[in-house]
Every structure is written in C-alpha cells, then in structure tokens.
Structure 1
Amino acid sequence: MEKILIAGATGSTGKRIIEILNSSTSFEPIALIRKEEQKEVFEDMGVTTVMGDLEKDLDHTVKGIDRVIFAAGSGGNTGEDKTIAVDQEGAKRLIDAAKKANIKKFIMLSAMGADNPSSNEDLKTYLEAKANADDYLRESGLDYTIVRPGALTDDLGLAKVKLGEKLNERGEISRDDVAFLLVMSLADPLVKNKTFEALEGREPIKNALIDMSQA
C-alpha cells in the first residue's frame, strides 16, 4: 500500500480524508500533526502519525511517503501573518520537501477565486496565499492536482459534482465531496497536472474526474 501524508489532518476536511483513506486497500494515511496531544485521536483509528510543523523544516515528514495531500489552511479566518505562514509558505515548504523525496504526486486543496484574489476583498490575502502556493506547485516539477472548491459546507456528501478549469459561477460543495475528490485525484493518471474548480453538481465524482482528465 502506498503511504499518503495528509497535511491538515486535524482539520474538518482532513479528518474526512483520513477516514476515506483508512478504509482503502490501495493507500495508507499518515497524519501530519503539530502537537503530541493530537496523536491519540489517530491512534484510536489505527492511523500512523508524524510530528511536523508547517512553519518549520519538513524533510523528515516525507520519508517513506509516496504521495501528499495538502489540506491545511486558515480558511481566511486567521490573521494575515498566519495565513501567509501556513497557506503559502507552509505549502511551499512541504512542496520542497516532497520534491527532495521524489514524491509521486502532490494534491493541493486550494480555493475558488485563487486565480483572481482581488475579486474578493475580504479573502484577498487568503486567496493570494493560495494562488502563490498553487503557482509554486505547478512550477516545482512534481506531478500535481490542484482542486479549487467553492464554499465548503458540512452537509452530507452527495458524491456528485461539477468540475471545470473555470466554472464562472459561485456556489457550495460539501467537505465530504471535496475529500473524495482529493483522494480520488491520488490515482494515476487521473487529473494529472490539472487545476480545476469544483462545486456540487449532477455528475458522479469519478466520471467528472475522468472528463476533467481528458479536457
């Protein structure tokens, strides 16, 4: 089984990713945690953890890892300094570590609007940080997928989405469905080196990813 490092494992979307991967026969989740007290939750699930801080050196966190999902982020709800430190510089730090470790694929959870941060004044710093991290990943030479969802909800996932490089509309999507999109993007050659937006929709996730791969 391939080992998948999940940055942001303690977050709402990260926990869903862990749950999906934990029942997979192809992938084994490795939860990146920052505090010792976070370990127990994952141990109870039978999930391996690795200690690491996105604001510090991360080279040790990718040893023996095959692929990475970056689902960490402030969501634009923290101060500007923290947003840049985590969403931008933390992502860059993990990309650098992944590149050194010859990671097979890096999956980035970004945000709709990252292609035009000035369109949303309230989230401008957050979207700029996401945009910079996305650009850094695209230029890294790593195989990647960048998923840019609309507003995240805690609704039950419907496993049906609308994907596109640019959807030209705003909307919502459940964290459940975003987690499935990120996990399914791990598989090759699905959505290799693709950046796309995602909203709830009518097309089954797997079909939508196949269509996006061929776009």
Structure 2
Amino acid sequence: MATTASLSFAASLGAPATSRRAVRSRARSRVVRASVEIEPGSDPAPDASPAPAQIVVFGSNGKTGARCVQYAARAGIPVTACTRSGSWSPQNINLTSDERSLVTAAAGDVAKASAAELTSTLQGAGACIFAASASPSGGSPQDVDKAGLVAVARACIAANVPRLVIVSSGSVSKPLSPVYVFLNLFGGIMRAKIEGEDAVRSLYFKRDGADYVVVRPGGLTEDEPRGVGAIELNQGDDKSGRISRSDVAAICVEAAVGANGCVGNSTFECYWADSAKGLDAVGFSNMMGGTNTDGDYVSGMERRGNTWNEIFAGLKADAPGIAQQGVGPSL
C-alpha cells in the first residue's frame, strides 16, 4: 500500500481531523511495513512515495469496484466513488465511520457523462481505477467497456492524472480460447474489452507524465481475500485461474498508488497460484474448483511474492504502440 494524502485534504471532507489523523497514522504504519524490510526495534523508514491526493473509482457500485473503494478507504486513502446514480450504496461492504468519511460519492456514468464532466471529476486525482463494465442497467459492452473506457482515459489525460488502472479480463486477447468464446457470447464483451485496452495503449503512446496499468483477472469469486502471497501474476495472456474480487481490488489499488514498483504502461494477468491453468483447461477447472498439479503449464513469466514490491518486480511494460490482438485500435 502507500501512505495517505495530506491532512488538509482529509479535513476538507468534513471528518474530525483527530480521527482522520489516527486512521492515517495506522495506515501509514501498515504501508511502510508492507513495503520495506524493517530491522527489529528500528523505526520505519520515511515514505519516499506519498499516496495520491485521491483515487477515483468508476464502477464503484459494482462488485469489484466497491471492493476497490473499500480497500483504499481501509488503507486511509481518500477515494471518490463514481456511480451512475451519484450515490454509493454497495452491499456487503463494511467500513468504520472514520474509513467511510474518506469516501466521497460522485456521479460518473462512463457511457453518458460528457468529457467536461469526467475531466472535472478527475481534477486533482493521483490515480483512477476503471472498474465499470456492461450490465443490464448500465449500458452495452461497446458503450461501457470500450467507449466508456476511452472516454475516461481521455479525461485522465486532460486532468493530468498520473495513472489509470483498468480492470479487464483474462484471455481477452485470445479470441480462440474457450473462455473468450464463451464470455464473448454476452454482447461481444470480450471484443469490446480488448478494443478498449488497445485504444488506451494508443492514447498513452509516447506520453510523458501519465501511464496505464491493465489488470486481467481470472474467474472472479466472492471468497475472502487470500492476500498477496497467494496470488500469481503473469504476462502473455496464456494462463489464468480463479481469484477473489477482494484480491483483485487490492492489486488495483496497490498498482494505482505506484509506490510498490508496478511498472507503468503494463498489462498482466492475476489469479490464485494454486488455481493456475493454461487457457485450454482453465474454464472447466474454474467451474469445478480445480487446483493445479505437477506438469501444469508454465509460461516462464510467472511473478510471485510475499509483498507487493516482490510480486510487481520484473513486470514488463507493453511494447509501445502495439495492439494486443494484432489489429489496430479503433478509436
């Protein structure tokens, strides 16, 4: 994690400064211990990479977006929860009153908001997480997962937001894989996601001061988080597995704050290491709750670690301007 923004920002949200100071002090202690090795009995090293003033999360009433808001607030990071309605009311998200005071709800319908509205919402943000996706009440895949993502990316650039984190999907760049074929039956959602990804890559090509991170989860579950030590990252989109939404939220927030070595303009898959399979077998394995065994596919790009610094280490940035599906991005 990363430390929090200034106390002046916290006070502007309306909570008592003393309670906010206590929350942030606890968060800072957790963050430093998670990010650096500390000698027994010594004081934590000063944090050289303060967290952004706020994280803006689009799709905050969705199951993954809501957990991104929860994770950020529990870390003491101010967060703007953007939803179609302008109110943040997710189910099964528990926060203390101090943590809840770090959350500001805002209207942010990515399929309908104007460029000016999106840019205004993002002004002053240190990072943005795009966790919106098509739903029966929220627009088609083309409107949300592609055009909505492009609109938010452009607004991030206009508002000088340093980092955009995108929640996409494993196997999204492999149109012949069973998972892609199955999921794409739902309104062409996989095609919309990869086109949205590639459009972002084009927008950020040779752009200084701003970057993106694409997070491609495997099969999403409602299980309790298992933490960084249970997660495997990969690159190349040829291996996947299962992972809880809460663990995906942790990855997104940790990548958003950028203090743990997550390289910009990168794309990676994430899943629990013990559920990993090649794309040809992962769909059935996920449905059956399978685990991996000796001889399962190894890509050579696996990343493991007990801290965020360790698991992000060695990730490679995308080749500049190269579309992931082998076709030019459609803007």
- After TM superposition, the score normalised by the length of structure 1 is 0.87
In the other structure, the counterpart of 2:79 is 29
Q: Distance in 2 between matches of 1:149 and 1:33?
A: 22
Q: Deviations over 1:117-153 (max 9, x none)?
A: 3433232211111111111222222411111111100
AA of the residue aligned to 2:190? L
In the other structure, the counterpart of 2:265 is 193
The answer to whether the aligner puts 1:72 opposite 2:132 as a matched pair is: yes
AA of the residue aligned to 2:315? M
AA of the residue aligned to 1:183? V
The answer to whether the aligner puts 1:130 opposite 2:193 as a matched pair is: yes
In the other structure, the counterpart of 1:184 is 254
Q: Which runs of 5+ in 1 are unaligned?
A: none
AA of the residue aligned to 1:54? V
What SS class does the counterpart of residue 129 from structure 2 fall into?
A: strand
In the other structure, the counterpart of 2:223 is 155
Q: Distance in 2 between matches of 1:14 and 1:173?
A: 15
Cα distance change on mapping 1:140 and 1:167 into 2, 3 Å: closer
What SS class does the counterpart of residue 269 from structure 2 fall into?
A: strand
The answer to whether the aligner puts 1:99 opposite 2:157 as a matched pair is: yes
The percentage of counterpart residues that share the same residue type is: 27
In the other structure, the counterpart of 1:144 is 212
Q: Contact (CA 8 Å) 1:32, 1:52: kept in 2 or not?
A: yes
More strand by share: 1
Q: Distance in 2 between matches of 1:113 and 1:167?
A: 6
Q: How far did 1:53 drift?
A: 1.4
Q: Contact (CA 8 Å) 2:211, 2:264: kept in 1 or not?
A: yes
What SS class does the counterpart of residue 203 from structure 2 fall into?
A: coil
Cα distance change on mapping 1:21 and 1:170 into 2, 3 Å: closer
In the other structure, the counterpart of 2:18 is none
Q: How far did 1:173 drift?
A: 0.8
Cα distance change on mapping 1:32 and 1:214 into 2, 3 Å: closer
**Structure of greater Rg:** 2
Aligned length: 210
- After TM superposition, the score normalised by the length of structure 2 is 0.58
In the other structure, the counterpart of 1:111 is 169
Q: Distance in 2 between matches of 1:173 and 1:11?
A: 16
Instruction: Supply the RMSD in Å over aligned alpha carbons.
Output: 2.5
Q: How far did 1:40 drift?
A: 6.0
Cα distance change on mapping 1:185 and 1:138 into 2, 3 Å: same
Q: Deviations over 1:94-120 (max 9, x none)?
A: 011111111100001110111123433
In the other structure, the counterpart of 1:175 is 245
